[in-house]
Amino acid sequence: METKVIDADKKIGSVSVFGDLDGSTSPTLLKEIEGLIEQGMVNIILDFTGIEFISSSGIGVIAVSSKDISQRNGKLIVVCNNKKVLSLFDITNLSKVITIHKTMDEAMAAV
């Protein structure tokens, strides 16, 4: 995982996730998101363009983080173009709670 502050003025941070988001990697993602929030980032982009699989624990981290960020008047945005992952967001209704874009440029324009 790679975490970075994209724009401190707009309070935008990002986490890039590669491979699988499962029971062993989900706690790391949660810590990365919490770290960005502690730095004052309220708009967080999850770059899932390198993701192959998301388990239920990964979905849980996304849902909890989305709620936490929205309570801070921020946005959680996911960048993903993997059809299997996108269908999982639809099946779990997570696509109704988070904003999903296919590119980082689209996500940045949405903040």
Q: Given this model, what pLDDT does residue 46 score?
A: 97
What global pTM score does this model have?
0.93
Total number of domains in the chain: 1
Q: Given this model, what pLDDT does residue 35 score?
A: 95
Q: Given this model, what pLDDT does residue 65 score?
A: 96
User: Is 29 within the bounds of a domain?
Assistant: yes
User: Is 111 within the bounds of a domain?
Assistant: no
Which residues are CB-contacts of 3 (< 8 A; sequence separation ≥ 6)? 13, 14, 15, 16, 32, 35, 36
Confidence of residue 1 (pLDDT cuts 50, 70, 90): confident
Rounded Cα distance between 69 and 33, Å, is: 9
E strand or H helix at 16: strand 12-21
9-57 pLDDT, tens digit each: 889 999 999 999 999 999 999 999 999 999 999 999 999 999 999 999 9
72-90 pLDDT, tens digit each: 999 999 999 999 999 999 9
Check residue 19 and report its DSSP letter: E
Q: Which domain holds residue 91?
A: 2-106
Rounded Cα distance between 44 and 15, Å, is: 8
Q: Given this model, what pLDDT does residue 82 score?
A: 94
Rounded Cα distance between 87 and 64, Å, is: 19
